[in-house]
Amino acid sequence: MTRKGENIYKRKDGRWEGRYIKKRDSEGRIIYGYTYGKRYIEVKSKLIILKAQYYEPNALRIFNGDLEEWSVYWLYHYKKSTIKQSTFFNYKWLIKKYILPYIGEKRIGDLTNEDIRSYIETLEKLGLSHGTTNNIFILLKKILEEAENQNIISSNPCRNIKLTRKKYRNKVPVALTMNEQKQLEYFAFKEKGCSAIILALYSGLRIGEISGLKWSDIDFENGTIGVNRTISRVSSHSEENKTEILIGFPKTDQSSRVVPLAENLKKYLLAKKALSHSSHVVSCKNKMTEPRVIRYRFKKVVEASGIRNIHFHSLRHTFATRCIEKRVDISSLSKLLGHTSAKMTLDTYADSVLESRQKAIFKIDQLMNHQLE
């Protein structure tokens, strides 16, 4: 069985075989290379990359086919070695889930501004957030920008297209009330090992940062927590529909940070460290606890506490909200959270900050009473 024009065949042993031109001998005869896989799509992806590696630079127009072929080539040939591994997997996931199913079969040279506008309208109907839609569009723009640079297309059809933010409604971060927090903490403190919930509520760390936190990252003498790595589960590089654990650096330079360790949290951690046999603060069978397990444990504690159903990330929002309620300035909070800028913090917690400002104005307003009387 073969796929027409692709040099991909199904072998008698059930595997798929792909053939590509590797080089020519001294007499100009073609020497073929071969690649194998359990699935057709796996071999097709490998074949696109191999063709790119062995094809002459001036013959790059081999990719003047559909957007799927060029996207795979762009991802592996131009980006894989120049971006963080977590970013690579994120790009791969966005391409697979939100680009290829909708316009992947379009011939790259035939894409127009109208095609892109129609595609954006399709994304809008999916109910995605503005941030997600914007990330997908920027990624597509980068893919087609490189195609233009390599003379694969005459111009980038994404040019002069801007997303209109007014069509989107920003989601307000969900934070626990003080009563909900105390109720959740009551059950979290009952956990045998160090609770990821307590860490998130009193340090503001992300779930991946908590997963990767080691005892060696905590300086008990100087009272600091070093955020040096993050753990995430990403799509497998080798197998379709599989995932794997990725140990990487924090998502941005600002995310790699030092968080002050308060006295009560310090006492709690020291007590847990004395009983721990793992190098990781939050452990599972004395080893690292991946985010998926942390979420599972979290759901169990939420159910036991009887509070509303929330995501683990709401604990980070709760930490930020408590800081704002205690009049922590936005600049300091931004650094604690590892945000790229204070503006990002202000935009995220605008409602909480407004409430805090309203309370401040109310207090100042009381000074006028004396004059009015």
Q: For the segment 180-239, what is each residue's pLDDT rounded down to a tens digit? A: 999 999 999 999 999 999 999 999 999 999 999 999 999 999 999 999 999 988 766 555
Segment 229-252 shows an average pLDDT of 73
| pLDDT of the residue at 114 | 94
Distance CA 310, CA 110 (A): 45
pLDDT over threshold 80, residue 61: no
pLDDT (tens digit, 9 = 90+) per residue, 284-317? 999 999 999 999 999 999 999 999 999 999 999 9
pLDDT tier, 138 (very low <50, low <70, confident <90, very high otherwise): very high
Distance CA 109, CA 94 (A): 22
| CA-angle at 351, arms to 346 and 355, nearest 5° | 110
Distance of CA 307 to the CA centre of its chain: 28
* SS3 category, 66: strand
Average pLDDT, the chain: 85
Cβ pair 48, 73 in contact under 8 A: yes
CA atoms within 13 A on the CB side of 162: 4
Distance of CA 253 to the CA centre of its chain: 15
Which of 140-149, 242-251, 314-323 comes out lowest in average pLDDT?
242-251
CA atoms within 13 A on the CB side of 192: 7
Q: Which residue has the higher pLDDT, 3 or 77?
A: 77
Distance CA 21, CA 37 (A): 18
* SS3 category, 280: strand
pLDDT tier, 95 (very low <50, low <70, confident <90, very high otherwise): very high
Q: At what angle do helices 178-188 and 196-203 cross, to 10 degrees?
A: 140
Cβ pair 350, 330 in contact under 8 A: no
Distance CA 228, CA 250 (A): 7
Segment 239-256 shows an average pLDDT of 73
In the chain, % of residues over pLDDT 70: 86
- State the amino acid at position 297 in one-letter form: R
